Structure 1
């Protein structure tokens, strides 16, 4: 947040030096420049995430980390179960099993 404030104050007519702004906001100057550089780089698309989402959609949202790991391994992407779990958590994928039909009345 403070890096964005420094950026805004730099674009005004009476620009304050970056060194002075960093000192007042108690952030490092190198941290400001690193954050500015990180913002310019577009986020990379993880190849495993693409396969993960496709396999999850193909399963109808029923596969959890163990089955998804096997399904993705068939596509040629090998990864561990816990890595699969964390990717599922990042993308908001939660498995839901189908309930069995239960007869409630006896005809």
Structure 2
């Protein structure tokens, strides 16, 4: 009845019940934890380029833009001074 009222196909409803997190999402969560750890170790001084370089030195292969996106999603920002 609810599917008819909301105009949602039944297959979409049952598909959403069995929805699991994707491999990419699990990887992003793990990377976000690593980024947060590096950010805290640097006393919130490191921005995306330095965090990216640190991750590459630790053997994690990813792009700078992905680091930037994950930092933005997690609300992580570096301390900046105004000149």
Aligned-residue CA RMSD in angstroms? 2.3
**Counterpart in the other structure of 1:58:** 41
Q: Secondary structure at the match of 1:71?
A: helix
1:89 CA displacement: 0.9
Q: Map 1:11-50; keep pairs closer than 5 Å.
A: 20-38=1-19, 41=20, 44=26, 46-50=29-33
TM-score of the aligned structures, taking structure 2 as reference length: 0.78
Structure 2: gaps (5+ residues): none
TM-score of the aligned structures, taking structure 1 as reference length: 0.63
* 2:54 maps to 1:71: yes
1:98 CA displacement: 5.7
Preserved CA contact (<8 Å) 1:62 1:98: no
The structure in which a higher percent of residues are helix is: 2
1:47 CA displacement: 2.6
**CA–CA distance in 2 between the matches of 1:63 and 1:98?**
13
Instruction: List per-residue Cα deviations over 1:6-51 (Å, max 9, x = no partner).
Output: xxxxxxxxxxxxxx3211211111111111112xx46736332222
Task: Say which one has the larger Rg.
Answer: 1
Larger RCO of the pair (alpha carbons < 8 Å, separation 6+): 2
